[in-house]
Structure 1
Amino acid sequence: MRQLPLGRTGPMVSAMGLGCMSINTTYDPSDENEALATLHRAVELGVTFFDTAEPCGLGANERVVGRGLAASRDDVTIATKVGFAHTHDGRTALVDGRPVVDGRPEHIVKAIDGSLTRLATDRIDLVYLHRTDPTVPIEHTVTAMADLVQAGKVRHLGLCEASAATIRRAHAVQPITAVQTEYSLFDRSAERNGVLSAVRELGIGFVPCSPLGQGLLTGPFPRQHLNATVVGTFDPLPQDDTLTANKRVIATIGRVAAAKGVAASQLAIAWTMADGAVPIPGTRHLRHLEENLAAADVSLTAEELAALDAAAPIGAAADECHSPESMALLTR
């Protein structure tokens, strides 16, 4: 797989990464052997960018990523996320059903040390602030993270689901290498809220998560298969009325994909890559992994891009995958 720089200041990474959350958490039960096989196959296929997070599976996701990539450690870029508060037993802390964000410098330092231990590594290539804490100035949080860069524990810094204003303030303290946010043909809000233009202006890498629109292009996952230890599962899954509203968009995308001879999922992923972004679709199944990674070889013509833009313009899809509690944490 081709490699490209992650923003102006970041490392060279594969044109598509692997979102690791689902390899052993989130959906249906899995065993460690299956998770490790997915990681090893991704490396074989040229993936060098792997994304995990502190809350996933009460730290279990970071542990399996560390084990699975140990033999390839010097050849891959590992990203993780910190910034949520936890209960004494390691679960995400909640207040009124909303995950508690903690951007205090002392919490961030402790959280990153925990991630280093679970990943079994002496440095983390990219650490994202998972969400912005409105009670702590972003400058204070980023300064603490920058100190860890100086100490050699962290190489690059990133932000998740931050507003354009927050991105600019953070970048003024310490160069931000990457911004991760949900972005797909079903959620183009990054184009509307100024985030995409801000990262392009500042030379920050753009990392779309959920490039398949929370699974709308591959089929929704039953609620009973979700693991409630993962932050994302506090959000509702698409309901019947939402899915019905999206049928026209999905059908048009399917027709463009069929005409090109690729899967709709591959077309959707390729669309997010058309302007140099590095998406991180996730899966634990080898067949889906190979199908997703093949999207890196899909080139879209100007006519195809125009057809997709017409099929799924900003605001066209009825994507109601976030609860009000989770929405309150986004783009702050």
Structure 2
Amino acid sequence: MINAYSANGTITTLAPADALQQLPENIVWIDLVHPTAQEDSYVEGLLGIQVPTRDDLKDIEPSSRLYIEKGAVFMTASLVWRADSNSPELTDIAFILAGSRLVTVRYAEPKSFQLFIAALGRNSDDLRDGPTMLARLLETIADRTAEVLEHAVDHIDKLSIDIFRDRGKRRPPQFLEGKLADIAEFHRLVSKVRDSLNSLSRLLAFLMNVPLIHDDMSDKNLCQTVAHDVTTLSEHAAFIASNIAFLLDASLGLINVEQNSIIKIFSIASVVFLPPTLVASIYGMNFKYMPELDWHLGYPLAILGMLLSAIIPFFFFRWKGWL
């Protein structure tokens, strides 16, 4: 699908069947969403550029993601999408500055694009051309990334409270093992965000040296602001990642403590019942001459001896604080 946006925020859907030979002058952004090969060729014919394919976007070499060809600026960034789900992913999106127009090629629908498109009508006075449109779009992407990290921090704080509350109460290891899945989920999200921020940082460093941006003080200042925000968000994401690592280590440590407590109970139980077992083993021997066998009180005394041999170690361990 090809969506064309004008400077005043109006949207037009283009199709190869329209057979347009030239784009209207007021079109400043062309957004290709899940484009077909025919739609790619159609846009290439209108703008005189080569539109990257899905395979081209997956290339991780910096020289293949950031370059200038025939006066057009080609940039590829990895953005987080499905951040609100249990399986966040990275999607590669191409940003192309072809003269005064911006072209984006994407095979996913990140929320940042939805937010930017929804606000086009309100910010139409500031969106005079493609470079400005790109700078504002990158600003929205940074704001959306900050929102994702903010939500992650809130959930991690709640997770921390769940893990460390009621420390005086003994909880089964299954409770903490269930929290490990939540920790892994947030670790995956923050990792994706950090990869996205690194990608945006490289894109912005390249973009600010492009003449279309460098020669326009307004766009350059906005890109510098977004670059500073991305750097700050990267540092914040690293801090969140360290907190997640601490939660993981703490959860594993608490699981070990709980398991050791269970093993300690079994060890103490075996030690407590070892003396009675010894007494019972002695009087279970089949020797012919055992004086206690002729005692009238031999049986109750043996039972009493077994009870005392179990009770005394129990109270001794309790006095030592081992129970």
TM-score (norm 1): 0.24
TM-score, L = length of structure 2: 0.25
Q: Which has the larger radius of gyration?
A: 2
